[in-house]
Amino acid sequence: MRRDLLPLPALLLVSACVTGPADGSGKIQTSSQAKRESVQGAVSAPLRDVNLLQTKIPPVLLEAMADPYKRPQPATCAGITEAVVPLNNALGADLDEPAVDEDDLMSQGKGAALGAVAGLASDVIPFRGWVRKLTGAERHDSLVQAAITAGGVRRAYLKGLGESRGCKPPATPSHVLTGSPVISQDRKPRYPVR
């Protein structure tokens, strides 16, 4: 029975080199996203739990964490575009852009299956929650999430500046999503506004 478990550590060590998405893009991922993207990400879940494998935070997001409202230099349409493009590469598509990946039943099933594999791989670690806390994995995941949030705030701020200057996308929101429902302001709020 123990011979069956020998390939698992070897597979985990091979997967330890991967810190980005399996598709090769520069988009940052949380631990839960990495676990559901590929078999390698799912099998490497225990390494993330003991903080041996961490998501690398792109420098553009670290800068956004330092000051999300820093004015771009130069504060021109070209300068704003130069600041927005690296954020798009690190964060993926913004809310004003159509999603690139298909959200069909097959991809949902794949994510669920890989999540189950990640759960089985993580079950190897007893007291997983405490291990994540003691090794700093939980703190690093919080830092990754804070970087993603700061990057989103920075991108929104830059696009607002671009719109006030009359720039064209990507330095300003596109305002048109194909296939998205129109949201009406005429609807009554669900809860009373105080």
CB atoms within 10 A of CB 36: 22
Q: Answer for the pair 83, 72: CB distance below 8 angstroms, yes or no.
A: yes
Per cent of the chain over pLDDT 70 is 59
Local confidence band at 48 (pLDDT 50, 70, 90 cut-offs): confident
With both helix axes pointing from N to C terminus, report the angle between 137-164 and 59-66 in degrees, rounded to the nearest 10.
80
Report pTM.
0.67
Q: pLDDT at residue 46 above 50?
A: yes
Sign of the dihedral through C-alpha 161, 165, 168, 173: positive
pLDDT for 137 equals 84
pLDDT for 104 equals 61
Q: pLDDT at residue 14 above 70?
A: no
Nearest to 115 by CA among 17, 49, 38, 47: 38
37-51, 133-147, 171-185: the lowest-pLDDT one:
171-185
Does 86 or 175 have the greater pLDDT score? 86
pLDDT for 86 equals 96
Burial bucket for residue 49 (CB in 10 Å: 0-12, 13-18, 19+)? buried
Q: What is the pLDDT of residues 128-149, one digit of tens each?
A: 678 778 888 889 999 999 999 9
